[in-house]
């Protein structure tokens, strides 16, 4: 990938649309629904603030395109796994939740096929195709808003349980962007305009999209509790579903080439098909109740979220950020040590995340994050002392 040193203003704007649309996937389009349902409008704030700031910061932290190129090469397996899981996540979600928006399995399949067609055209048009996707979503959200008279969630004081979730959101959204191959592509192409491109892409365009999610969070949250209510406003749900399907399909088609370009190993292929088979199998029972007071579909969604709240940010924290002696990556003896520490940290923190995400005893999330943060002490590296 060869980047332009100084792209034009329109070129920068085009990449800003690309960033916003590539990051508008089934986390930004649905996680706020769950958070607003459980915690009110503060749930959206805890989601949105670290999300926007964390993603925009990448354009400032990676000072040159060469840094992105080095990350893509040094961490190609991790980047490929991130894209593989992300692509699978989009389709498992659409097949799990699609009937709520489209009314039947046949219409869901047709909607996904149409969304893939639109997304394929947008990908072929490159960054201006991203602008087309963004504009189409905005139009769909405006029409849904006008046709429904949605009420925004009410304010109030921040729930105590949400304070334990906030560090997980900050940890995940601050670090996950560095494994997103589409972000690195934009960083390389933006060159010296990366700060402007990332700031506009996330601070304006992406923020607009997740504010759209906030606009439908209350009625869609109600549908999760009582799916039969979809008959009350089927046309509005169809518009929201079209927005979600189009953005998810676009994200998928952007991430599949990232997997291919990484020269996928057997491990990456195993991750992709393993997640696809397990996710698709569980999606077939999406509306069945689970023992944890939510549908199986929501449990699957929350399990996928554990990748972005625990596994991927833990990798960045332990394996990507250079140690004191300058080592970055998983090569050599130090790299193997990092992978061992990563595995142990995830294994120890995993039960805490299960209790926080699935059992919904959020207080357990605090020790889970703390375990991962403190595990950095085991991979600090050594500082060479000068000879007297």
Domains of the chain, by residue range, sit at: 9-379
Confidence band (pLDDT; 50, 70, 90) for 103? confident
Report the pLDDT value the prediction gives residue 330, as an integer from 0 to 100: 85
Over the Cα atoms of the chain, what is R_g? Answer: 21
pTM for this prediction = 0.91
Q: What is the mean pLDDT of the chain?
A: 89
Percent of the chain with pLDDT over 90: 65
Distance CA 279, CA 340 (A): 27
Query: Does residue 352 surpass a pLDDT of 80?
Result: yes
Number of alpha carbons in the 13 Å side-chain half-sphere of residue 19: 36
Q: What is the pLDDT of residue 105?
A: 83
- For domain 9-379, which architecture applies? Up-down Bundle (1.20)
Alpha carbons 322 and 70: distance in angstroms, whole number = 13
List the structure tokens of 163. Answer: 């304070």
Give 83 or 282, the one with higher predicted confidence: 83
Give the mean model confidence (pLDDT) for residues 235-243. 91
Please tell me the least confidently modeled range out of 147-161, 189-203, 310-324. 147-161
pLDDT(277) > 90: no
Q: 257: burial class by Cβ within 10 Å (0-12, 13-18, 19+)?
A: middle
Identify the CA nearest to 95 among candidates 293, 358, 281, 304. Answer: 281
Query: What's the pLDDT at 384?
Result: 45
Q: Give the residue-averaged pLDDT of 301-312.
A: 95
Helix, strand and coil content of the chain, in percent to the nearest 5, comes to 80, 0, 20
Q: In percent, how much of the chain has pLDDT > 70?
A: 93
Q: What is the pLDDT of residue 98?
A: 83
pLDDT 10s digits, 337-347? 999 999 999 99
Residue 46 clears pLDDT 50, i.e. is over it: yes
- Over residues 197-210, the mean pLDDT reads 98
Q: What was the pLDDT predicted at 157?
A: 76
Please provide the size of the chain in residues.
388
Scored b (16 or more CB within 10 A) or e, 303-323 reads: bbbbbbbbbbbbbbbbbbeeb
Q: Which two tokens stand for residue 59?
A: 């354009």
Residue 388: per-residue pLDDT: 34
Contact 24, 206 (CB under 8 A): yes
Question: What is residue 230's DSSP assignment?
Answer: G
Residue 329, sorted as left (phi over 0), alpha (psi -120 to 50) or beta, turns out to be: left
* Residue with more model confidence, 385 or 4: 4
Q: Which tens digits make up the pLDDT trace of 210-232?
A: 999 999 998 888 877 776 655 55
* Alpha-carbon span 248 to 30, nearest angstrom: 11
Q: Tokens in use for 255? A: 């991430």
Q: What number is the average pLDDT over the span 324-334? A: 84
pLDDT at 153: 75
The predicted pLDDT at position 229 comes to 59
User: Tokens in use for 358?
Assistant: 């699935």
DSSP secondary structure of 126-186:
THHHHHHHHHHHHHHHHHHHHHH-PPPPP--SPPHHHHHHHHHHHHHHHHGGGG-HHHHHH
């Amino acid at each position: 990938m060869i980047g332009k040193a100084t792209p034009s203003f329109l070129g920068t704007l085009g990449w800003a649309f690309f960033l916003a649309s590539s990051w508008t996937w089934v986390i930004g389009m649905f996680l706020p629904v769950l958070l607003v349902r459980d915690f009110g409008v503060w749930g959206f704030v805890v989601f949105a603030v670290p999300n926007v700031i964390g993603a925009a910061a990448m354009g400032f932290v990676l000072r040159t395109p060469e840094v992105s190129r080095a990350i893509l090469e040094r961490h190609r397996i991790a980047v490929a796994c991130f894209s593989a899981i992300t692509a699978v996540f989009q389709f498992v979600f659409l097949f799990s939740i699609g009937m709520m928006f489209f009314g039947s399995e046949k219409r869901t399949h047709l909607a996904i096929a149409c969304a893939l067609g639109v997304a394929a055209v947008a990908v072929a048009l490159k960054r201006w195709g991203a602008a087309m996707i963004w504009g189409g979503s905005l139009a769909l959200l405006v029409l849904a808003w006008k046709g429904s008279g949605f009420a925004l969630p009410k304010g109030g004081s921040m729930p105590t349980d949400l304070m334990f979730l906030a560090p997980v959101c900050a940890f995940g959204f601050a670090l996950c962007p560095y494994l997103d191959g589409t972000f690195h592509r934009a960083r390389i192409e933006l060159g010296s305009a990366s700060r402007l491109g990332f700031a506009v892409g996330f601070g304006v365009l992406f923020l607009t999209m997740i504010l759209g999610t906030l606009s439908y969070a209350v009625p869609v949250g109600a549908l999760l509790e009582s799916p039969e209510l979809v008959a009350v406003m089927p046309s509005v749900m169809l518009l929201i579903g079209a927005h979600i399907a189009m953005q998810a399909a676009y994200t998928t088609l952007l991430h599949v080439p990232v997997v291919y370009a990484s020269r996928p190993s057997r491990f990456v292929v195993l991750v992709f098909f393993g997640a696809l088979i397990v996710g698709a199998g569980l999606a077939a029972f999406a509306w069945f109740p689970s023992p944890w007071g939510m549908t199986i579909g929501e449990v699957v969604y929350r399990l996928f979220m554990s990748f972005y709240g625990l596994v991927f940010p833990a990798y960045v924290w332990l394996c990507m950020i250079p140690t004191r002696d300058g080592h970055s990556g998983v090569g050599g003896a130090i790299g193997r040590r990092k992978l061992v520490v990563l595995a142990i940290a995830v294994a120890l923190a995993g039960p805490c995340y299960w209790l926080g995400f699935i059992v919904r005893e959020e207080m357990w999330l605090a020790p889970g994050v703390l375990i991962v943060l403190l595990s950095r002490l085991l991979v600090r590296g050594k500082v060479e002392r000068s000879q007297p």
